[in-house]
Structure 1
Amino acid sequence: MRLLITSPTAIVVDDSDVVSVRAEDASGGFGILRGHADLLTALSVSIVAWQAASGHTRYCAVRRGVLSVTGGNEVGIATAEAVPGDDLGQLEQIVLDEFRRRTEAERASRVQGAQLQMKAIRQIVQYLRPDPNHLREGGA
């Protein structure tokens, strides 16, 4: 089975000798073996693990992403950011600290942007809405 993990700027992992893949989405962890049904799911901030035919287990921290299984023998992951490695403990720290911090910062930035947009809309509506007192004074 082939595993391909890509970020916007690089092919992070391209391993064609994979026996199994473990990943995590919103419903929890799951595994993929050769012959798996086609699948498309959104990954959470997590660590993807896979075992090569040699028995060696490798890991890759992903900052969310989309996982697809095609034809039962190709697993593709497109992610915003990925860090491969052999040290699970080190990758867990990356996921827990750095990736989650960045994800929360992006979320806070989106909220702040939405708040600014709403403030601008309120000011425009207030400017365009006529003052009811002004209409009464005009001799209505």
Structure 2
Amino acid sequence: MTGGLHLLISTPSALLVDLQDVVSVRAEDESGSFGLLPGHADLLTVLPASVIRWRDRDGAMHYCAQSGGVFSITGGREIRVACRQATVGDDLSRLEAEVQTMRAALSDTGRRSRVEEMRLHANAVRQLTRLLRADAGSANGINPAGGLGL
């Protein structure tokens, strides 16, 4: 066992990163950006679409754009990231642009979901209104089709 961190980043279909002896890791959750060094307390958090950064023993920086996932560190050494999709690379600006695209897609999906939910709600209210009018009309002896219910 070495003194560094062991970093694992995976998607459902692939293990993208499996590195021993990582010096530091930087990630971001809903509360903001955070960094980890060997010996860090155990942590479990949810990551939004963001770029994970790590420094190897030689001082080189590496990056992974991920679409959102679960991040954990256990035993002060084992860091695991499980996400739906991710891209590993050394071009930070390209990966940050990819994260912006992921965030925009998620935002658009959320917006479409809210619009569809409002449409369904409006249709349900219309249907209930029709049913209540029909029920009220028949209780008063009025045929909902327009005539007297005699």
Offset from partner CA, 1:84-140 (integer Å, 9 cap, x none): 1011111111112x212221122123223423442454355446545212201169x
1:9 maps to amino acid:
S
- Identify the structure with bigger relative contact order (alpha carbons < 8 Å, sequence gap 6+): 1
RMSD: 2.0
- Map 1:1-12 to 2 at 5 A: 1-12=5-16
Aligned positions, number: 138
Q: What letter corresponds to residue 53 of structure 1 in structure 2? A: R
Structure 1 71/117 Cα, relative in aligned 2: closer, same or farther at 3 Å?
Answer: farther
Between the aligned partners of 1:100 and 1:48, the Cα distance in structure 2 is 15
Runs of 4+, deviation exceeding 2 Å: 112-131
| Equivalent of residue 46 in structure 1, options 50, 63, 71 | 50
Which consecutive residues of structure 1, in runs of 5 or more, have no partner in the other structure?
A: none
TM-score by length of 1: 0.85
**Among candidates 110, 115, 125, match of residue 112 of structure 1:** 115
2:38 matched to which residue of 1? 34
Does 78-87 or 107-116 show the bigger shift? 107-116
Task: Please give the per-residue CA displacement for 1:49-77, whole angstroms capped at 9, x wherever unaligned.
Answer: 00111211100011121111111111111
> Could you tell me which residue of structure 2 aligns to residue 23 of structure 1?
27
What percent identity do the matched residue pairs reach? 40
Larger Rg: 2
TM-score normalised to the size of structure 2? 0.80
Partner of 1:92: 96
Of 9, 17, 29, the residue aligned with 1:13 is 17
Aligned match of 2:145:
none
SS at match of 1:36: coil
Secondary structure of the corresponding residue to residue 54 of structure 1: coil
Segments of structure 2 that go 5 or more residues without pairing to the other structure are 143-148
1:103 aligns with 2:106: yes
